[in-house]
Structure 1
Amino acid sequence: MRIMISADMEGATGVTWTDDVVPGTEQWQRFRRLFTGDVNATIAGLFDAGATDVLVNEAHSSQRNLLLEDLDPRARLLTGRHKPLSMMQGIDSGVSGVVFLGYHAGAGFDGVLSHTYLENQITGVWLDDIPASEGRLNAGMAAEYGVPVLVVTGDDKACDEARDYAPDAELVAVKECVSRYAAICLPPARTAELLKSAAADGMKQAGRLHPEQVPHRIEVEFDASHLAQATAVIPTVEQIGTRRVGFDAADMTEAMKAFKVVTAIAAGAVQGIYG
């Protein structure tokens, strides 16, 4: 049975601030090891419960953060940027379940390093009128391919939201949010036990579901008007407020591809410290 792990870093064990997740910093080098440890504990639990193939899709920033040389040798690693399905690359490869590892709360919400795709230019995202984090967006993608979400890990805020978009998933809060840059953290020895156990329990939900290919609408609100103006030049994207754009798509795959273009254009329109 093939299982996929979509591995983000902000919700990994111990991560609480910018340098922990920005490639090239001393802290990032440290937390790469903890991040890889979270992934390995999850892989172990999946294999213990019957997985025969685990594909780990790196989903954070440069998407070159996990230490391949330290990865559980039973797994495979999809690393590097410019993947057509981004954080969910591999969901279309016949997997029977997906784990959202190291996830975080969305833009506009309390949570450690909370954001949605862009670190600070986006103040809110809505999927079919529901406030959406990356987790909710990616769960919509999983549903389109008939893949159940088995486990969600991150801080307590990320887990709180997951109870709504993935009610059958196992949840692992590796830290308790105090502020966007502070948390009460469990040490790696503790989180490894929790992650391994949750992954094994989550395998009970593994299996193919009926695909849900339906139209979707995404709306995005920015922190400045020029970002809405810049992204509204994209075909199908309409400026619907001073700082807000929206677009419709025939299915979730097309919606997420369009959203990826919106975030890329917005990032390119940021001008120094004024944003």
Structure 2
Amino acid sequence: MKVLISVDMEGVSGIVHPSETNPDRYDYERGRALMTAEANAVVAGVLDAEPTATVWVADAHGPFRNMLPEELDRRAHLVRGKPRPLGMLGGLDERTDAVLLIGYHTRAGGGPAVLAHTMSDAILDVRVAGRSFGEIGLNAAMAGHLGVPVVLLSGDDNACAELRDLVPSATTVAVKQALGQAAAVALHPEVARERLRQAAADAVRRRAQVSPLTITGPLDVEVDIYSPVTVDLATLIPGVSRAEGSRTVTFTATDFADAYGLVLLLVQLATIKPG
């Protein structure tokens, strides 16, 4: 069997502040070490349950170059760097049997929650068929489009609730209780890793009991964007329109894969500054 572990950073135990998640800030090295250690705990749990599994680990935070390759469990395959197909789900395909979302965070506007946002600070909201989706929902539905269930998520308590609302049968591990955007009560990292290892093993064993999140098309998509310049660029894409009098762009996607890909493109457009 093949398992994909997608690892973000904001939902890792002990992390509460951008200084711990930003490569240009002073506490980033501690953050990336904590992130790598949680990934290792989950790899170990998957292999406790399925010793012959092929395990892929997708570095899914920011530049996708955060985890320390030399410190990662040598039994795992590391997906690193960007841009790449399927973004945070790099390595996902129809042969994947289960996806585990580790260190994830709540969508923009979903607080109080630690470091809540959606893809980047440039995206204020993504609505698919009228429902608001953050990274948890977008990635769960993209996996579901390929018939793959998300069986485990870890993060703060609000991130866990966000997945359970979408996939009630999934396993969740709250490694911290959110007090606000940059504050939480966190488990000791070693305790968090112990719980993650056990939860990963349990989730993989019961993967057949978790249904993929399936959203069928065509789909009307609305994306609220912070910068007017990004809205201007987005309207250059065929099929993308500006909602009158707002910073919202809209488009119709044939299926969720098309919606997901275009949202990833909008995130990248937001990095372009006026010439």
Residue 233 of structure 1, CA deviation: 2.0
Q: Partner of 2:236 in structure 1?
A: 233
SS in 2 for 1:5: strand
The structure 2 residue matched to 1:248, chosen from 252, 259, 272, is: 252
- Segments of structure 2 that go 5 or more residues without pairing to the other structure are none
Native 8 Å contact 1:172 1:198 kept in 2? yes
User: What is the CA RMSD across the aligned residues, in angstroms?
Assistant: 2.0
For residues 263 and 86 of structure 1, what CA distance do their matches in structure 2 show? Answer: 11
For residues 14 and 45 of structure 1, what CA distance do their matches in structure 2 show? Answer: 21
For residues 104-158 of structure 1, give each alpha carbon's deviation from its aligned partner in whole angstroms, at most 9, with x where no partner exists.
011122111111111x222211122111110100111111111111101111111
State TM-score, norm by structure 2: 0.92
Q: Partner of 1:199 in structure 2?
A: 200
Native 8 Å contact 2:2 2:56 kept in 1? yes
Q: How does 1:181-200 map to 2 (within 5 A)?
A: 181-200=182-201
Native 8 Å contact 2:143 2:212 kept in 1? no
**What percent of counterpart residues are identical?**
36
Q: How many residues align?
A: 270
Q: Partner of 1:112 in structure 2?
A: 114
Amino acid aligned to 1:14: G
Q: Partner of 2:75 in structure 1?
A: 74
Residue 195 of structure 1, CA deviation: 0.5
Q: Partner of 2:265 in structure 1?
A: 261
- Segments of structure 1 that go 5 or more residues without pairing to the other structure are none
Residue 270 of structure 1, CA deviation: 7.1
For residues 109 and 232 of structure 2, what CA distance do their matches in structure 1 show? Answer: 21
For residues 202 and 65 of structure 2, what CA distance do their matches in structure 1 show? Answer: 29
Q: Partner of 2:140 in structure 1?
A: 139
Q: Partner of 2:19 in structure 1?
A: 19
For residues 17-36 of structure 1, give each alpha carbon's deviation from its aligned partner in whole angstroms, at most 9, with x where no partner exists.
11111114331101111111
Q: How does 1:157-168 map to 2 (within 5 A)?
A: 157-168=158-169
The runs of 4+ residues in structure 1 deviating greater than 6 Å are 208-211
For residues 169-217 of structure 1, give each alpha carbon's deviation from its aligned partner in whole angstroms, at most 9, with x where no partner exists.
1101111111111111111111011101110110133359789563333
State TM-score, norm by structure 1: 0.92
Residue 93 of structure 1, CA deviation: 5.3
